[in-house]
Structure 1
Amino acid sequence: MTDGPLVALTLLAVLGTGLVAGVFFAFSSFVMRALASLPPAQGAAAMQSVNRTVLNPVFLGVFAGTALLSVALVVLSIVRGGGAWLLAGAVSYLAGTFILTRMVHVPRNDALMRVAADSAEGAEFWTGYVPAWTRWNHVRMLASLTSCAFFVIALVNS
């Protein structure tokens, strides 16, 4: 990989996947534990606030931008041949992070947004939400981190 633009795209993918992995690591290692330690109404309300706040240009730019970079790197790794590390990194991010978020986390977050945090229904929903959301977050954190590692290997081997 001596092509300047390909190196630049791969470096951007390293940064994007690393940032996203860091966000998910924070949620897996302490944010969800902190929210779960609150009374259910407070924890649910705090997570509802997080779910509203995360929909901003900075986070979405990195999250979706890294998915777009991954698509470009899939195409380039296929067209140029020999880009197994690029392909692995891109597929790991797209499947294990981006698609998983859309298929698992977005529906759960949308369902949380539909309940009143201070209601009995909200408390019951919150009790099941936290462990399931967190388990799947571990998966997307590991996928993002793995993707980052694969992109770094592609750069090192270039």
Structure 2
Amino acid sequence: MEMIKSISFFITLLLVGLSAGFFYSWEVSVIPGTSRVSNLSYLETMQQINRAILNPKFFLSFFGSLIFLVLSSYLHYRDAINSAFWLMLLATIAYLFGTFGVTAFGNVPLNDALDAINLQQLNSTQLEDTRLSYESKWNRLHTIRTLFSMLSFSLALLALFVNQKAAETVFTQFFNL
């Protein structure tokens, strides 16, 4: 059981780290970059990115993070007196509501609404209005999910270090130290 717990914990850290890194990278590169392009270019780019991101690689880190956070929290439950369980539970809650929930109920509906727009039929004023409405809401939501994914990763990482036995098990089993 310890080996399953350790493997699950390792995969959790990897996936949540990838997810947090993805959102952080977007925050510091894509958002500043797209802020510099024309309204039409921005809206077309976001439509294409929103379509392209629906792929197995993204789904693995985005959905996998939540699945493995739940699994790792469950596997730590029997050690409820251990603070690692509570940190994992907090990491799961942060990811569930702050990253997954904000994405599912905030960013995705905005993406769907943007995707339904035929940009070629809009005049320059309509393009500007559409961008202003979409971009400000989307970026605000993205910042929230970025912060929560980083919080979730930090809490999960802290759980690893708080539970020194788990840390030793992870390192010895994965790196044969």
TM over 0.5: yes
Looking at structure 2, the residues matched to 13 and 95 of structure 1 have their Cα atoms a distance apart, in angstroms, of 17
Contact (CA 8 Å) 1:70, 1:94: kept in 2 or not?
Answer: no
Specify the SS of the correspondent of 1:115. coil
Rg comparison, structure with higher value:
2
Q: TM-score normalized by structure 2?
A: 0.81
1:108 to 75, 85, 110: 110
Looking at structure 2, the residues matched to 86 and 96 of structure 1 have their Cα atoms a distance apart, in angstroms, of 15
Matched residue, 1:49? 48
- Larger RCO (CA within 8 A; separation ≥ 6): 1
* Structure 2: runs of 5 or more not aligned: 164-177
1:132 to 121, 128, 137: 137
Looking at structure 1, the residues matched to 119 and 73 of structure 2 have their Cα atoms a distance apart, in angstroms, of 42
Contact (CA 8 Å) 1:74, 1:91: kept in 2 or not?
Answer: no
Cα RMSD (Å): 1.7
Looking at structure 2, the residues matched to 79 and 123 of structure 1 have their Cα atoms a distance apart, in angstroms, of 55
Looking at structure 1, the residues matched to 66 and 37 of structure 2 have their Cα atoms a distance apart, in angstroms, of 34
* Percent identity of paired positions between Structure 1 and Structure 2: 26
Looking at structure 2, the residues matched to 72 and 122 of structure 1 have their Cα atoms a distance apart, in angstroms, of 44
Shift, 1:74, TM fit: 3.5
Looking at structure 2, the residues matched to 148 and 60 of structure 1 have their Cα atoms a distance apart, in angstroms, of 17
Matched residue, 2:9? 10
Looking at structure 2, the residues matched to 22 and 63 of structure 1 have their Cα atoms a distance apart, in angstroms, of 11
Written as runs of structure 1 = structure 2, the 5 A alignment for 1:43-122 is: 43-81=42-80, 82=82, 83-118=85-120, 119-120=122-123, 121-122=126-127
State the AA in 2 paired with 1:38. Answer: V
Runs of 4+ in structure 1 off by over 6 angstroms are none
State the AA in 2 paired with 1:21. Answer: A
Q: Which moved further from structure 2: 21-30 or 90-99?
A: 21-30
Looking at structure 2, the residues matched to 76 and 94 of structure 1 have their Cα atoms a distance apart, in angstroms, of 18
Looking at structure 2, the residues matched to 133 and 27 of structure 1 have their Cα atoms a distance apart, in angstroms, of 12
Shift, 1:79, TM fit: 4.5
Contact (CA 8 Å) 1:40, 1:117: kept in 2 or not?
Answer: no
Q: TM-score normalized by structure 1?
A: 0.90
